[in-house]
Structure 1
Amino acid sequence: MDANPGQYEQSTSGTSAAGGTAARRRSLGPLQMVWRELFNYPGRVIVAACALVVTATSTLAIPFGFRQIIDQGFAQGADPAVIRWWFLALLGVVTVLSIATAIRFYSVSWLGERVVADIRLRVQKHLLSLSPSFFEENSPKEIASRMTADTAIVEQVVSTTVSVALRNAIMAVGGVIYLFALAPTLTAGLVVAIPLVILPITAFGRRLRVVSRSSQDCVAEIGAKTSEVFGALRVVQAFNQEDRELERFGGAVERTFATGKRRITIRAVMTAVIMFLIFGSITVIMWRGAIGVAEGAITGGTIAAFVVTAGIVAGAFGSLTEVYGDLVRGAGAASRLAELLAERPAISPPARPQAMPYPARGKIAFERVTFRYPSRPEVAALHDFSLTVEPGETVAIVGPSGAGKSTLFQLAERFYDPQSGTIKIDGVPLTSADPAEIRRRIALVPQEGVLFAASARDNLRYGNWQADDEAIRAAVRAANAEDFLKDLPQGLDTFLGEDGGRLSGGQRQRIAIARALLRDAPILLLDEATSALDAESERLVQDALNRLMQGRTTLVIAHRLATVREADRIIVMDGGRIVEQGTHETLAGAGGLYARLAALQFDSAQALPVD
């Protein structure tokens, strides 16, 4: 199979994406994506907001109750009934606070779970619309980390951080207002100290944003390495590379720890500085207030209420500094998810797609096609290539590695568009049709049967999800897969494991053939489906392929020339061009590239024998 360079137009977006990331690091702007999802549930947001306001105001009502109790209850000759009333009122406030807190917690936690679920679905839907070239340039394992670790951070932001931030903001603002009502002069001094708190937040926050993003990238690297190593564990152990992989993983872990240490150091220093400024300011102001009480300028209840309220305000500002760090982490996570959503599909349907003709005939035409992979623009994978395959015709494609064979398949399925020339299916240019409609007319049997971590039935139905049991059984029989599927513990309902790990290579390939049979498409693409099989498996698979090919337009990429003898036509490719074409007998005797390739595989005395 041809090595696929893979990087496509997505690479052109990398520069702008990087610039956008740098801009996003300087603000909490990426969280706008979260807010938009949040307000898809206005009723729940209103309930959470009301509960939030009630909890904040109830908290601020407690110092007011203390003031009344001290000033009226502890005064000489105080009325016990008044004291009882104010204590009952205070208990009422505490009861309201408790109930509102429960409602707030449930509502914001529900929103967090729901918003993260929606974001995951939205990102997954978008990723499924991108062409395979995007995932050749961007690690699927790293993307998986974004879908798990980053969305977990976003969930924390919605379900906890935002709630804490808003509650503390309300208490801070409301507390300052109440402090002005209690003691305007003392509060003025407190307000003057607020800019001293904001400046360190700004200074430390800028550094914290950058480090937080780096920390998340390192965590994603760990996830990618873990998935990569365990996915190839047999190879790791076969070559005794456990220690090396542990060393690589240890390096990633230490880089994550070092980055995390920088992040928590910045947060720790920022918290210490801000706490000192806040509580230092309050201490100085309280000192002045104590003198006022001694001089009789204010009452004991007022100073008590001022102390409690100032403590609440200080705690609120202190929490806001910590919450800011969490919001920064959330913004970093949201920006990584937003980058995925910002990717535009390299291949997309036209505004008004041309309808494909029915019934389908299965004719394929490459007309003077020139194609260069964007990562290798200096080399043409196909050069002025023309080929027409008539309905029902079987064309075998042979040639050395890098000749452009697999590129034909990728262009036929419209995973790429050529720089010049036209590709048509049933007379319709692919660029004028909906890619989904094009692919419905094609069934693919890859070189290695790709299976999913699901049951045998679901893997078979991947070719046609509406297929009933009768159609599945017919496809299984035609693919020579009936016997081994019956022997599975739960038959078709048996879970096949990751990548179909419970099956042999030949069995996986026969399920892939049965899947293509269920597809029942007029065009069949075979990427040398028997090249990695033993003789017995190859015989069974080849027999199944012969049934699959009947009545279908078939393109066969052949590395083993013995599989192409019965083709209606053989195309020999080299350097992105057709250098020979004809039948096996004609080409074998022509002394060209096909004959030389055949000589490499068979004894000269029995070149290309009949099996």
Structure 2
Amino acid sequence: MSARQMLITLWQFMRPYKTVLAGAAIALVFTALVTLSIGQGVRQLVDQGLSGSSSAALTNAVVILLGLAGLMALGTYARHYLISWLGERVVADLRKAVFSHLVTLHPSYFETNRSGEIMSRLTTDTTLLQHIIGTSFFMALRSALMFIGALILLLITNLKLSLMVLVGVPAVLLPIVLYGRRVRKLSKASQDSIADVGSYAGEIIQNIKTVQSYTRERYEAQAFAAEAEKAFEVAKRRIRQRSLLIAVVILLMFGAVSALLWVGGNDMIAGHMTSGDLAAFVFYAFLMGSAVATISEVYGELQRATGATERLMELLAVQSDIPAPCEPESDPLPASAQQSVSRHTPAQVDFELVDFRYPSRPDQPALQQLNLHVAAGKSLALVGPSGAGKSTVLDLLQRFYDPGAGRILLDGVDIRELDTGVLRKQIAVVPQQPALFTADVLYNIRYGRPDAIEAEVFAAAKAAHAHDFIEQLPEGYGTHLGEQGARLSGGQKQRIAIARAILKDPKILLLDEATSALDAESEHHVQQALQALMSNRTTIVIAHRLATILHSDSIAVLESGRLLAQGRHHELVASSPLYRRLAELQFQEPESRSAR
């Protein structure tokens, strides 16, 4: 992506604020004109004030300079405020656009892209763009205006010296073009390396208990130091190239100014120009040189911004394999699907010859020719060894993925015909490892239904046997839980998740070992709550402990993504070798131990 392409891309975010942009441009032009006018004030100060014998002329020249300085201060205030506001506003919009797009992306994207790198793009890259839009870009425009204006006034002041300047300018611009390409490549590499460092640190912090449990603190510190050093080496190469670019430009600029002073001084001594003309000419030449130096510095920043913009646009360009939910107002449904989204009747679920492979593991089938039937208001338990495809069934039903072959029906309607938002509103999930947010208890339970009143939240917590321990927290339902609910035990987290599902009041309930983290007494109470919640709801349960699903209406035995058998507990003990082996291991092993 070139600098021009970057600006075209960012324009779509700047377009809504054309009024502010116009105001900033007016202030920019105004301050440039005032700055250029100062050169004429310098000429008058030297010729009529310093070189003359009139105190009134000196006072008049100084007053003019002070007036110009006041106007420049006023224009600079307006320019800086408007430009900074625009930079902050555009970057805020860009962050919102990127994040809004991220939350709609297919889960497979996050399987193959590290969350730390994504967060780096959302924070570090956008911060860099804020600096570019709010400072550097308009500095470059101001410098370009100053360069053009100073050049015109140079030509008016002294043609011979101006020709010398015109000859010298290409020599100053040449290194900008040559080194700019190197800086752009190194800037992209630098941003990527910073993202790697952030991603590594985030992963370690997220799993800090595991790191400390295995006493890997020293190793991880050394590994992070190595990542940081790699980022530093990339940054060092970028800084070296950029510093060399700035140094060469400054050397050429002051060399050119020195030559102008020598030639102009000789002309002044010879009487071909006044001291005021020379002073004004040097002032304008200095403005030109400063403008070129600023442009060269900003050019390096623009190269970094180009890399950052490219990384952000890559995120915005990612297309989700599953369409994002529609807005409620624009959510037409097929006529055949109207019944399937009714909240008051349980739904029938069918898997018909479903094949599926995870995008991150395309060579390994997760489900093969799977046929499942769950009658409306009935419960189905999924059992089998790890990797049998049990969690995949839940993922497909929520349409996090679409099957490669076959179809999934909700009351006879292919779920691909339903908007994902409408589909998922009918489903509540209690996972084996519940996800809690860095907020208070009330927020985490109400996440299942944000419009629920507090009385409904309390009732859901009581049904999940969570109300008593919540009341004992320092601030009750207002207690913040820390990152990922770090302040709660595993069983408490699970009961918060169950309360969230109860509050949602879904048609379809998905339980992934929902009582696995509970002690015996809590499990007894929560099982009772779940039995009440499962009443008149279609329920699919993933179970590793067969004792929790003995009373399910149907049990499906899975292995390697295939359905081996389906029936009630006593039927499967008689007909399924795999289920019989699992039952023997779980129900007879304690007796064997006691016999010893």
Which range, TM-score by smaller chain?
A: over 0.9
1:206 aligned to which of 174, 181, 191: 181
SS in 2 for 1:555: strand
2:22 is matched with which residue?
Answer: 46
Offset at residue 531 of structure 1 (A) = 2.6
After superposing the two structures, state which structure 1 stretch, 583-592 or 515-524, moved more: 583-592
1:88 is matched with which residue?
Answer: 63
Offset at residue 28 of structure 1 (A) = 4.9
Q: Return the TM-score normalized by structure 2.
A: 0.94
2:400 counterpart of 1:425 = no
2:563 is matched with which residue?
Answer: 578
2:263 aligned to which of 279, 288, 312: 288
Preserved CA contact (<8 Å) 1:530 1:541: yes
1:354 aligned to which of 334, 344, 351: 334
Residue type of the partner of 2:583? A
SS in 2 for 1:454: coil
1:299 is matched with which residue?
Answer: 274
1:316 is matched with which residue?
Answer: 291
* 1:408-423 aligned within 5 A: 408-423=393-408
2:463 is matched with which residue?
Answer: 478
2:534 is matched with which residue?
Answer: 549
In structure 2, distance between residues paired with 1:597 and 1:37: 59
Preserved CA contact (<8 Å) 2:572 2:580: yes
Preserved CA contact (<8 Å) 1:506 1:541: no
2:12 is matched with which residue?
Answer: 36
Q: Identity over the aligned pairs, expressed in percent?
A: 44
Residue type of the partner of 1:513? I
1:229 aligned to which of 199, 204, 210: 204
Residue type of the partner of 2:349? I
* 1:320-469 aligned within 5 A: 320-348=295-323, 354=334, 356-358=337-339, 359-360=342-343, 361-469=346-454
In structure 2, distance between residues paired with 1:349 and 1:84: 70
Preserved CA contact (<8 Å) 1:28 1:327: no
Preserved CA contact (<8 Å) 1:398 1:572: yes
In structure 2, distance between residues paired with 1:204 and 1:187: 27
Offset at residue 446 of structure 1 (A) = 0.4
After superposing the two structures, state which structure 1 stretch, 542-551 or 389-398, moved more: 542-551
Offset at residue 84 of structure 1 (A) = 3.1
Offset at residue 29 of structure 1 (A) = 2.2
Preserved CA contact (<8 Å) 2:357 2:404: yes
2:481 aligned to which of 481, 496, 514: 496
After superposing the two structures, state which structure 1 stretch, 392-401 or 540-549, moved more: 540-549
2:41 counterpart of 1:65 = yes
1:253 aligned to which of 218, 228, 246: 228
Distance 1:492 1:349, change over 3 A: closer
Residue type of the partner of 1:258? E
Distance 1:536 1:350, change over 3 A: closer
In structure 2, distance between residues paired with 1:574 and 1:74: 97
Residue type of the partner of 1:221? D
Residue type of the partner of 1:354? P
In structure 2, distance between residues paired with 1:309 and 1:422: 75
In structure 2, distance between residues paired with 1:436 and 1:505: 29
Residue type of the partner of 1:333? A
2:251 counterpart of 1:276 = yes
1:18 is matched with which residue?
Answer: none
Residue type of the partner of 2:274? T
Preserved CA contact (<8 Å) 1:513 1:548: no
Preserved CA contact (<8 Å) 1:145 1:220: yes
Residue type of the partner of 1:453? T
In structure 1, distance between residues paired with 2:348 and 2:258: 85
SS in 1 for 2:432: coil
1:182 aligned to which of 157, 163, 182: 157
Higher RCO (CA-CA < 8 Å; seq separation 6+):
1
Preserved CA contact (<8 Å) 1:349 1:433: no
2:581 counterpart of 1:596 = yes
In structure 2, distance between residues paired with 1:389 and 1:284: 90
Residue type of the partner of 2:44? Q
Preserved CA contact (<8 Å) 1:413 1:438: yes
Preserved CA contact (<8 Å) 1:357 1:426: no
1:217 is matched with which residue?
Answer: 192
Distance 1:350 1:219, change over 3 A: closer
Offset at residue 592 of structure 1 (A) = 1.3
Deviations 1:439-486 (A, max 9, x none): 011110001121111110010110000001121121111111111111
Instruction: Please give the root-mean-square deviation of Cα atoms over the aligned residues, in Å.
Output: 1.9
In structure 1, distance between residues paired with 2:203 and 2:363: 32
Please list every run of 5 or more consecutive structure 1 residues that lacks an aligned counterpart in the other structure: 1-23
In structure 2, distance between residues paired with 1:331 and 1:366: 48
SS in 2 for 1:305: helix
Offset at residue 553 of structure 1 (A) = 0.2
In structure 2, distance between residues paired with 1:150 and 1:385: 45
In structure 2, distance between residues paired with 1:482 and 1:154: 47
* 1:151-166 aligned within 5 A: 151-166=126-141
Offset at residue 393 of structure 1 (A) = 0.7
Preserved CA contact (<8 Å) 1:350 1:433: no
Q: Return the TM-score normalized by structure 1.
A: 0.92
Residue type of the partner of 1:50? I
SS in 1 for 2:352: strand
Preserved CA contact (<8 Å) 2:39 2:284: yes
Preserved CA contact (<8 Å) 1:461 1:467: yes
Preserved CA contact (<8 Å) 1:354 1:434: no
In structure 1, distance between residues paired with 2:37 and 2:195: 45
Offset at residue 537 of structure 1 (A) = 3.6
After superposing the two structures, state which structure 1 stretch, 534-543 or 237-246, moved more: 534-543
Offset at residue 196 of structure 1 (A) = 1.4
2:329 is matched with which residue?
Answer: none
After superposing the two structures, state which structure 1 stretch, 388-397 or 361-370, moved more: 361-370
Preserved CA contact (<8 Å) 1:384 1:577: yes
Offset at residue 79 of structure 1 (A) = 5.1
Offset at residue 510 of structure 1 (A) = 0.8
In structure 2, distance between residues paired with 1:31 and 1:549: 56
Distance 1:107 1:206, change over 3 A: same
